């Protein structure tokens, strides 16, 4: 539910605009408020798990997420839906890290790969299927059902969690208000900057300049404050010993980089299908299904065999498959057939599954049990920020390179270009015909957008290649497992 809701609303925005009598800028806050609230409250997962108990925390989050989803669906104004969407992000923030921490506690290490493969399927497939499901629900019912769909699933999840999720002992823990305010300012500013940067033309906007300043000051102040005050007055927002674990830090950085490439390619693919290749919303969503299926298949396979192999090699193979699948997209044109759209997506999806499971397992392989909830919150935050970076950068490249390509192509539009004359002759048009400017303007826009998308795919390829050097700095997980077993026996 939580990962699905990051993308399910996107395709319904045009319908919501008329229903709520809102501008597109106002509707953009539906996406921004959810992402900012989620990013701010993810690092607090460990704190609330300690004071409420992990099971109670999960139940509160599921219940709150479900109720706020219902209120989003019945909202009658843009103000109401933005407020409830923000609360939806607050309650939904801990769902992913809590579920990951629970799995890490319940399953033995030899079964961790299988469990993480099932869990990871929801994490990666949710955002991929979001636009498809959102478009389908909007088409057959209304945009309100993109929120109502959470209600029956939320009720079932709540009842199941009451029965099967083990609880943890509650701990008395004071709340570090100063630390929370500083990290909220930093994370909220970063998320706002990434979400609104391209729309507001980045640093030419005063609001983006202010958010960048607050992000830097907030981060520096938080780390300085936490370093000098941890343990003196109250327990810090999260335990800084987490940052001493090399596997966790490197795995989180790699997940951030994976989020850049994954969400960057997910964002640009529907634009290619709908704007340039004229696929309907439902059809474009179905074209993304092979990637989702391939990812699920890959996860189930890797989940069963990852304990037999060096996880670093599996991740490296997954990265290379992501590179191959994305590099094939750099040869795309406006005359694509369906097969050329599908097979690179299948390779990409399989690669994503090979990366996600070993990294998720490695991140927690050397962490003490008591740090897992806090670590899961930070791990999910890194993945969320990575996705935001991927969307922001790809949108910026697409927008700016489209203008660059347009300016370059316009230079070829002159009566002395024989290719132009031949093109117009094929359409039975003379260059003096008043329809020619309209025809050429539309064609130039399509070709410029296609060229800019090729640049986006090149960026995604590079974002995967940058991961390779960091992979082999990870500790060998087989040795790590033996060490952890010996520690547990002692």
In eight-state DSSP terms, residue 242 is G
**How far apart, in whole angstroms, are the C-alpha atoms of residue 391 and residue 314?**
26
Q: Of 138, 172, 206, which one is at a domain's C-terminal end?
A: 172
> What is the arithmetic mean of pLDDT over 317-335?
90
Give the mean pLDDT of 225-243. 65
Residues 155 and 245 in one domain: no
pLDDT 10s digits, 45-74: 877 888 888 888 899 999 999 999 999 989
State phi, psi for 474 to the nearest 5 degrees.
-65, 150
Cβ-based neighbour number of residue 14 at 10 Å: 12
Over the chain, what is the mean pLDDT? 80
Residue 24's pLDDT is 64
Residue 230: per-residue pLDDT: 58
For residue 440, what are its two tokens?
A: 């050429």
d(CA 271, CA 146) in angstroms, rounded, equals 20
199 shares its domain with 292:
no
* Residue ranges in 364-434 assigned as alpha helix (H): 372-410, 418-426
* pLDDT over threshold 90, residue 366: no
- Mark whether 408 and 267 lie in a shared domain: yes
Q: What is the mean pLDDT of residues 276-298?
A: 80
Least confident of 15-19, 367-371, 383-387: 367-371
Checking if the pLDDT of 381 tops 80, the result is: no
What pLDDT, in 10s, does the model give residues 170-205?
A: 777 777 778 788 888 888 888 788 877 777 778 888
Q: What is the pLDDT of residues 104-120, one digit of tens each?
A: 778 877 777 677 777 87
Do residues 419 and 280 share a domain?
A: yes
Residues 139 and 189 in one domain: no
What torsion, rounded to 10 degrees, do the Cα atoms 42, 48, 50, 52 define?
A: -140
307 or 411, which is more confident: 411
| Mean pLDDT across 480-490 | 37
The candidate with the shortest Cα–Cα distance to 122, out of 2, 270, 266, is 2
Q: What is the pLDDT of residue 61?
A: 93
- Confidence at residue 328, expressed as pLDDT on a 0 to 100 scale: 92
**Distance (Å, rounded) from C-alpha 234 to C-alpha 237?**
9
User: Does residue 488 have a pLDDT over 60?
Assistant: no
* pLDDT tens string 428-461: 777 777 777 878 888 888 889 899 999 999 999 9
CATH code of the domain containing 8: 1.20.1250.20
Shared domain for 68 and 156, answered yes or no, is: yes
- Regarding whether 45 and 143 lie in a shared domain, the answer is yes
Q: Look at residues 191, 206, 234 and tell me which one is the last residue of a structural domain.
A: 234
Residue 159 pLDDT greater than 90, yes or no: yes
Asked if residues 179 and 233 have their Cβ atoms less than 8 Å apart, the reply is no
Put residue 337 in one of left, alpha, beta given phi > 0 → left and psi -120 to 50 → alpha: beta
Say what the pLDDT of residue 231 is. 53
Same domain for 375 and 255: yes
Looking at residue 9, its pLDDT comes to 74
* Confidence at residue 489, expressed as pLDDT on a 0 to 100 scale: 33
Do 221 and 115 fall within a single domain?
A: no
Task: Tell me how many degrees the CA angle 5-294-389 measures, rounded to the nearest 5.
Answer: 45
Using only the alpha carbons of the chain, give its radius of gyration. 24
Mention every residue, 6+ apart, whose C-beta is less than 8 A from residue 434. none
For residue 213, pLDDT beyond 50: yes
Q: Domains in the chain: how many in total?
A: 3
> CA dist 437 to 6, 276, 428, Å?
40, 19, 14
Q: Which range of residues forms the domain containing residue 264?
A: 239-490
Can you give the pLDDT at residue 236?
62
pLDDT at 235 (0 to 100): 59
């Amino acid at each position: 539910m939580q990962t699905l809701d990051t993308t399910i609303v996107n395709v319904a925005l045009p319908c919501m605009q008329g229903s709520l009598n809102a501008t597109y800028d106002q509707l953009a806050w539906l996406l921004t408020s959810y992402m900012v609230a989620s990013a701010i409250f993810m690092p607090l997962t460990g704190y609330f798990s300690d004071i409420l108990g992990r099971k109670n925390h999960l139940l509160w989050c599921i219940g709150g997420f479900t109720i706020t989803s219902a209120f989003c669906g019945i909202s009658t104004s843009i103000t109401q839906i933005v407020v409830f969407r923000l609360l939806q992000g607050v309650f939904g923030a801990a769902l992913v890290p809590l579920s990951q921490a629970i799995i890490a506690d319940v399953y033995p290490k030899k079964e961790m790969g299988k469990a993480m493969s099932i869990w990871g399927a929801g994490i990666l497939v949710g955002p991929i299927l979001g636009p498809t499901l959102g478009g389908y629900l909007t088409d057959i019912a209304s945009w309100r059902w993109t929120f109502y769909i959470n209600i029956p699933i939320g009720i079932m999840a709540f009842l199941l969690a009451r029965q099967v999720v083990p609880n943890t002992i509650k701990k008395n823990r004071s709340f570090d208000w100063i630390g929370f305010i500083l990290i909220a300012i930093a994370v909220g500013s970063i998320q706002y900057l990434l979400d609104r940067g391209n729309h507001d033309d980045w640093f030419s906007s005063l609001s983006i300049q202010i958010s960048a300043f607050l992000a830097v000051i907030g981060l520096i102040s938080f780390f300085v404050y936490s370093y000098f005050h941890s343990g003196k007055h109250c327990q810090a927002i999260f335990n800084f010993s987490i940052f001493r674990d090399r596997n966790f830090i490197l795995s989180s950085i790699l997940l951030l980089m994976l989020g850049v490439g994954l969400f960057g390619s997910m964002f640009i693919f529907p634009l290619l299908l709908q704007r340039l290749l004229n696929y309907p919303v439902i059809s474009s969503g179905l074209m993304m299904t092979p990637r989702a299926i391939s990812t699920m298949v890959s996860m189930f396979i890797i989940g069963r065999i990852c304990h037999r192999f060096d996880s670093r090699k599996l991740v490296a193979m997954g990265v290379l498959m992501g590179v191959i699948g994305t590099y094939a997209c750099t040869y795309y044109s406006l005359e694509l057939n369906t097969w050329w759209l599908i097979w690179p997506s299948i390779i990409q999806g399989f690669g994503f599954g090979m990366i996600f499971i070993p990294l998720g397992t490695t991140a927690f392989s050397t962490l003490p049990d008591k740090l897992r909830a806090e670590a899961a919150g930070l791990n999910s935050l890194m993945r969320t920020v990575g996705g935001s970076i991927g969307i922001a950068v790809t949108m910026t490249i697409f927008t700016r390179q489209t203008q660059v390509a347009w300016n370059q192509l316009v230079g070829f539009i002159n009566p002395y270009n024989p290719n132009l004359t031949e093109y117009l002759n094929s359409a039975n048009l003379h260059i003096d015909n008043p329809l020619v400017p309209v025809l050429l303007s539309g064609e130039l826009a399509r070709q410029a957008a296609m060229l800019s998308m090729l640049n986006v795919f090149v960026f995604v390829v590079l974002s995967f290649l940058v991961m390779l050097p960091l992979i082999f700095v990870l500790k060998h997980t087989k040795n790590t497992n033996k060490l952890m077993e010996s520690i547990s026996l002692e």
